[in-house]
Structure 1
Amino acid sequence: MLFGFVIMFISSVFLAFATSIEALWLARALQGIGSACTATAGMGMLAIAYPDDAERGNAMGIALGGWGAGMLVGPVYGGFMYRIGGQMLPYIGLAILSLIGAFLQMISFETCIKKEPHEDKGIFKLLQDFQIVISAGAIAVSIFCIGLVEATLPTWMMDSWDARSLERGAAFLPHMIAYLLSTKIFGLLGHKIGRWLLGLIGLVWISCAIIAYPLASNYIGLILPSASVGFSMGMIDSGMFPYLANVVDIRHAGAYGSVYAIADAAACLGFGLGPYVGGPLVGTLGFRNLLWLTASFPLLYAPTMLLIRKIKEDSPKI
């Protein structure tokens, strides 16, 4: 985690002074590495610190809520700081926050987590476990849908009713607020409801919500589908992230770092493919047809949650 904070500090300084596309590309790549370090290590540490499933789900729900809060505050902070001080100020602020994070990590994270001997089987071994692959796939599919919507919705809003920049930015606020509430609620209840059931309901729900986007004729009409997408995303994340730790507990001897590296890679894959696919296809298919096609992916993936209802010690591999 400390290494990740240091890398994010360096990338923020690069972004503050970058003047070419190459420098921006390098800075963003460093930022992704730093984020991966903190996210993977953070989830792994929570999995170790909270061995009880109910407590673990609650802790991860809080952590995921922090993730959602950052996504909610980030664009507002960036726009405000950019207006005040141009390109440099928001990234200098991020660099300072990274240093504060590193300092807090050093003084608060003591060696209180008991280190038990275990055999980390590595990512490729874990990828042979079909329940890990299915769980990571649910994360990737849901975030793919979000990435595609984020890449195409603002343009559609401008073309459909000449939406202003404030409306285009505010369109994602219900999503983030609902995500915060959902991760908190289902972080607590996931143990009782069943992690697999959260994933199943979340995938079906996100399909229905995506279909509703093109039906909106103004910003008010976007509130319900946006909030529904955020709430369903919270269900999926609150189900799959603790579920992965449970699989590791039972079958993979504490390989938390590797399993959350897989989860983080799945999230990045989904978020990268969404805009990459959505950008070219929206011009060919149109916004409504593209989103209806996209809604079929989580709906078709949802039945795979039935395959991960029970975690067995000798679960069949791929």
Structure 2
Amino acid sequence: MGGLGKLREFGFLRWLREERQSRRLILLIVFIALLLDNMLLTVVVPIIPSYLYTAAKEGMAVKNHTPSLDYSPSSFQTIMSLYDNSTRVTGGTVQGLSGQVVATAPVTFGNDTEENCHKDDKTLLNENVKVGLLFASKATVQLITNPFIGPLTNRIGYQIPLFAGFCIMFISTIMFAFSKSYTLLFFARSLQGVGSSCSSVAGMGMLASVYTDDEERGNAIGIALGGLAMGVLVGPPFGSVMYEFVGKTAPFLILALLAVLDGALQLFVFQPSKVQPESQKGTSLLTLMQDPYILIAAGSICFANMAIAMLEPALPIWMMETMCSPKWQLGVAFVPASVSYLIGTNIFGVLAHKMGRWLCALIGMLLVGISILCVPFAKSIYGLIIPNFGVGFAIGMVDSSMMPIMGYLVDLRHVSVYGSVYAIADVAFCMGFALGPSTGGAIARSIGFPWLMTIIGIVDILFAPLCFFLRNPAAKEEKMAILMNHDCPMKTRMYTTQDSQHYQMGEEMETESDE
């Protein structure tokens, strides 16, 4: 049996070596990287608001009572809170340090939903801003890092940044597991932004470089975004259930273990110590950012994802305040959005190419706006199912359409090097997740959660018509010449990086018939 096990292990390693340059294996690695990154992104959604609220309440209790009281377990009865794992005094007496007996006021908490109600709780309302800033810190740091990672991939290749993203994510995950203060949690979340920048930009750029056909690229990016969707799907319920029954540390340690396995796979397949720069210099980041078509695509990604970014910190707090929701529901409420995002990215990764990616994105933006406007009308967690499902499905339509369009626009209008354009795509994604929680928390506290949803819903609806301009983007003259030289009656071929390089060198392009 031992020999058979070794033989199977050898066969697996041999398969990995043979498939090292396989596009499917590269797609699998990018899929796993996005999966783990977004699991860490969303696993904190149900944990952090509850954890910070509990810490704030305990801090107030310690400040008000513990300096002069010595609590004895035998002198009063306690009950377990369904909201946090602390105990509450229900009545009785406590003995002070001087021996004086002090009566405590009875607390009439029971094992019903009243224990989870926090209506008009000033501490809870103030958590909107703190939680929003913490959630936004990751996207803000990622936003700052992306302009450096994109050009860096042109110089050293995609493998080293992708592996660096794994290493940074592992450190961030361990910090989340053992950090107890808001400051350390804030730093862990910010550090994750650096790792996410490396993983997202390098992963998408790598896929665009190995899948040169437009339709194949759309399918591959749709599958990779499925990893992102799986992370978003599994993260919130996984975090809420583990936090409820095991504690705060356990979900992050499990993620750290999975990250180690992903790192080992990358190390074996990519050998990330090797520098593999692009064969030509890509279009500058500034030039790409001045392209109106790229800006429209980036804007679609930004505003569509801003909707879910505003929901993440504000919805759990709104549910605690208005629905008296126990903490396991805070993460489960996002399951419909996560499931529908997974469905949307897989369906429209293929379908968007046939129906027109511009039309798919336009419908998606309208659907995001309509769905987000319906969220405040929910009176229970069941009322959130349809609006959240619509939000996730619509964002899946937008992302699976706009990500391939980014690569297509570079092929059509610029040099076919993809690190910088996917840095812009990731910047747009991060803009949504930076501005969404940071401004959303303040807006929710000042004018209320329903008005917050109304504002972002109207913004998405108003932006949707701009996607029409992506219907037939204009190509640069030199790109049109390359494209026409490679047209043939049987097949229209995507021009490659090598074709663009030949044109820049002034070499005459040969037609397929001549070949």
Instruction: Provide TM-score, normalisation by structure 2.
Output: 0.57
The aligned residue for residue 27 of structure 1 is: 188
Percent identical residues: 44
> For 1:73-94, what per-residue CA distance to the aligned partner results, in whole angstroms no more than 9, with x for missing partners?
1233334444566444333322
* Distance in 2 (alpha carbons) for counterparts of 1:61 and 1:101: 20
User: As a proportion of its length, which structure holds more helix?
Assistant: 1
Q: Does 1:250 align with 2:412?
A: yes
The aligned residue for residue 45 of structure 1 is: 206
Change (3 A) 1:158 1:255: same
> For 1:43-75, what per-residue CA distance to the aligned partner results, in whole angstroms no more than 9, with x for missing partners?
111111111111111111111111011112123
The aligned residue for residue 356 of structure 2 is: 194
> For 1:89-146, what per-residue CA distance to the aligned partner results, in whole angstroms no more than 9, with x for missing partners?
33332222222111112333489xx986332123222101111111111111011111
Matches within 5 A, 1:92-107: 92-107=253-268
After superposing on structure 2, the runs of 4+ consecutive aligned residues of structure 1 that deviate more than 6 Å are none
The aligned residue for residue 370 of structure 2 is: 208
The aligned residue for residue 425 of structure 2 is: 263
* Distance in 1 (alpha carbons) for counterparts of 2:331 and 2:248: 19
1:302 aligns with one of 441, 464, 468: 464
Change (3 A) 1:31 1:161: closer
AA aligned opposite 1:49: V
Matches within 5 A, 1:1-318: 1-82=162-243, 86-109=247-270, 117-314=279-476
Q: What is the number of equivalent residue pairs in this alignment?
A: 313
**Structure ranking higher on relative contact order (CA contacts 8 Å, 6+ apart):** 1
Change (3 A) 1:88 1:288: closer
- Given that 1:175 and 1:226 are in contact with CA atoms closer than 8 Å, whether structure 2 keeps it comes out as yes
Compare CA radii of gyration and give the structure with the larger one.
Answer: 2
- Given that 1:139 and 1:263 are in contact with CA atoms closer than 8 Å, whether structure 2 keeps it comes out as yes
Unaligned runs of 5+ in 1: none
> Aligned Cα RMSD in Å?
2.2
Q: 3-state SS of the aligned residue for 1:312?
A: coil
Unaligned runs of 5+ in 2: 1-161, 478-515
- Given that 1:176 and 1:230 are in contact with CA atoms closer than 8 Å, whether structure 2 keeps it comes out as yes
User: As a proportion of its length, which structure holds more strand?
Assistant: 2
AA aligned opposite 2:179: A
AA aligned opposite 1:189: L
* Distance in 2 (alpha carbons) for counterparts of 1:81 and 1:224: 26
> For 1:223-255, what per-residue CA distance to the aligned partner results, in whole angstroms no more than 9, with x for missing partners?
111100011000000110000010111222123
Q: 3-state SS of the aligned residue for 1:255?
A: coil
Change (3 A) 1:280 1:129: same
Q: 3-state SS of the aligned residue for 1:265?
A: helix
